Amino acid sequence: MAKYRKLGKTSSQRKALMRNQVTQLIYHGKITTTEARAKEIRKVAESLIALAVKERDNYETIEVDAKIPLKDKDGKRVKEVVDGKKVTQYETIKKSVKKDSPSRLHARRQMLKVLYPVVEVPEAAAGRKRNTKNVDLVAKLFEDIAPKYADRNGGYTRIIKVGPRKGDAAMEVVIELV
């Protein structure tokens, strides 16, 4: 018996499909796809969530000094003349930063191997690069999803059958995070 479904695709196409659908599942919380694909997506998604649950509290918070530029009332940087050159003035503030332990860093990089980068575009500026934000799905896994499933031993996803697709009668399902 095979360890995975081939889904009628070459290995590179299949890996890209899995990465894309797992990324969308974690970003949106649920997606609609065929039953065979959903069963394969479930394996990858549940392993990522289990990794996030295991490593969610594995960091230390440290205090660092950060230099930030001073700004005037218009939001422009304040400059002063030193030795005939204009130099930006900086202010030092205390900032707390999360420092990952080595195992959490490894888990983060394992997740990044699977997840594609997601760019969030506001509806008003569709098709423009302005005001787009890169979404950190790994942070979403650690901070939002992992605490929700902390007391659960697996079974993070649910597959609900919708019915046959009109074109080819493939069984369509909704896969969602529980």
Task: Dump pLDDT digits (tens) for 4-37.
Answer: 999 999 999 999 999 999 999 999 999 999 999 9
> Token pair for residue 23?
């990324």
pLDDT at 177 over 80: yes
Q: Where are the domains positioned within the chain?
A: 11-58+101-177, 59-100
The pLDDT tens digits for 40-92 are: 999 999 999 999 999 999 999 999 999 999 988 888 898 988 888 999 999 99
Q: Kindly state the average pLDDT of the residues 113-138.
A: 85
Rounded distance between C-alpha atoms, residue 97 and residue 82, angstroms: 33
CA dihedral 118, 115, 44, 176 (to 10 degrees): -10
Distances (CA, A) of 84 to 22, 60, 77, 87, 88: 56, 44, 18, 9, 13
CATH number of the domain located at residue range(s) 11-58+101-177 in this protein: 3.90.1030.10
Rounded distance between C-alpha atoms, residue 51 and residue 164, angstroms: 34
Confidence of residue 1 (pLDDT cuts 50, 70, 90): low
Do 149 and 53 contact (CB within 8 A), yes or no? yes
- For CA atoms 141, 144, 147, 151, the dihedral sign is negative
